[in-house]
Structure 1
Amino acid sequence: MVRVAAIYTADTLVSQVQNLFKEYLPSVDLVNIVDDSLIREVIREGKVPPTVVRRLFHYYDAAADTGASVLFNTCSSIGDVAEYAKSFTRIPIVKIDDAMAEEAVEKGRTIGVLATLATTLRPTISLVERTAARKGKSINIVHGLAEGAFDALVAGNTQLHDERIRETAMRIAPSVDLFVLAQGSMARMEETLSALTGKPVLSSLRSGVLSVRKFLKNEGLL
């Protein structure tokens, strides 16, 4: 059986990723590696500190030891680490947000990046900018940080989480062609925000899992 190892920096996405694997990759064995102290350290430091980088490399190595064919990086805050690690890991890495960035630069010129964590905002902006440069596209980015939304989600207050995201989206909607949601935990807001703002909204969760499926098919593993 083909195995995929998913790396999480929080437990908020595990069940959603599992459900999407059951839907799109039912024959694949999904291994979940979760360390929710990672995102807490990143938030506290305001960046990815060396201690987190070292632990991530240990987890990447452990993922290979499980017999996984590919590693699925589910956290955009550590996306730059995952990108760097591609040259060193024993198995390939698929990042959750790469497909979203590709679609965004194909469909829009002025792209709104929404995030609930400042530590995710900059890596996502950088990813979109790199993707545009690689494709020879000229884009503008308008960003919005939904202050307090992530804390509300962790505390179980999904209503406040969603409200802060809606407010932030409405504030920048007049200036953008489309939105990208910087975190997988925001994915369930995709349809709501599109209806509210009248703009296309892209999220990384489903497209990320579909990227894993595409990779496995291209490698002849499905």
Structure 2
Amino acid sequence: MLALLHTSPVHVPVFDALRDLAHPGLELRHHVDAALLERARSEGPDAVADAVTAVLTRVVEEGARAVLCTCSTIGGVAETAVGVGVPVLRVDRPMAAAAVAVGPRVLVLAALESTLAPTAALIEEEARRAGRPVTVRTRLVGGAWSRFEAGDTEGYLRRVTEAADSVTGADVIVLAQASMAAAGERASVRVPVLAGPASGLAAAAAVAARPGTRAR
């Protein structure tokens, strides 16, 4: 069983659909805790480290063989949690690695400011790991998050799509939040637009399928 840690319930059907499409038979168990993101936004991701570890420990006790954190703001905290007992993956790491492989000029789009720095740091980490030069620029999509919070999914995705289509001077565009993924499919910009859910779930599914895998 693969557990998923979300900070919004909107991610649940997205990952269920991806599972049905690409990983039939994979058991997913969703855990939603919006308060983790709220606190991370106001106090910083490190402030929720103990709370995240407590959640991860609980899902492992419930039988998870691996955990995928779908929130980019707290992904780094989840990934480095100590003593959990199973692998904990962040959904955006495969996306970051793919972006570095495309080219050195990476543009990160996010609807939430707290996501920008963690995503840029992750891309730079993957660039160092790959031995590739990279220049990361970040851009906040103005007005998008308020639409997301209001439940205006179409308005939210429209803002993100418009932002992607206006990008120049980049080799690849990274959509920092899992909730932005559908905008990547709608964008008409000529450079690749990468999103995390599909590749992140694939990586986590592969880890969960390994016999006897343990972490830390």
Shift of 1:74: 0.9
1:81 corresponds to: 77
Matched positions, count: 213
2:124 is aligned with 1:129: yes
What is the DSSP-based 3-state SS (H/G/I as helix, E as strand, rest coil) of the residue aligned with 1:80?
helix
Given that 2:107 and 2:174 are in contact with CA atoms closer than 8 Å, whether structure 1 keeps it comes out as yes
* RMSD over equivalenced CA pairs, Å: 1.8
Given that 1:7 and 1:73 are in contact with CA atoms closer than 8 Å, whether structure 2 keeps it comes out as yes
Distance 1:215 1:75 in 2: 19
Of 48, 56, 72, which residue of structure 1 is paired with 2:45? 48
What letter corresponds to residue 166 of structure 1 in structure 2? T
2:93 corresponds to: 98
Distance 1:22 1:166 in 2: 26
Unaligned runs of 5+ in 1: none
What is the DSSP-based 3-state SS (H/G/I as helix, E as strand, rest coil) of the residue aligned with 1:77?
coil
Unaligned runs of 5+ in 2: none
Distance 1:14 1:22 in 2: 12
What is the DSSP-based 3-state SS (H/G/I as helix, E as strand, rest coil) of the residue aligned with 1:113?
strand
Distance 1:33 1:213 in 2: 17
Moved over 3 A (4+): 216-221
Shift of 1:219: 4.1
Q: Deviations over 1:53-106 (max 9, x none)?
A: 221111000011011111111111001202221x42111112111110111101
What letter corresponds to residue 146 of structure 2 in structure 1? D
Shift of 1:49: 5.1
2:4 corresponds to: 6
With normalisation by structure 1, the TM-score equals: 0.89
Percent of pairs with identical residues? 31
With normalisation by structure 2, the TM-score equals: 0.91
Given that 2:2 and 2:205 are in contact with CA atoms closer than 8 Å, whether structure 1 keeps it comes out as no
What is the DSSP-based 3-state SS (H/G/I as helix, E as strand, rest coil) of the residue aligned with 1:180?
strand
Shift of 1:40: 1.9
Of 148, 151, 172, which residue of structure 1 is paired with 2:146? 151
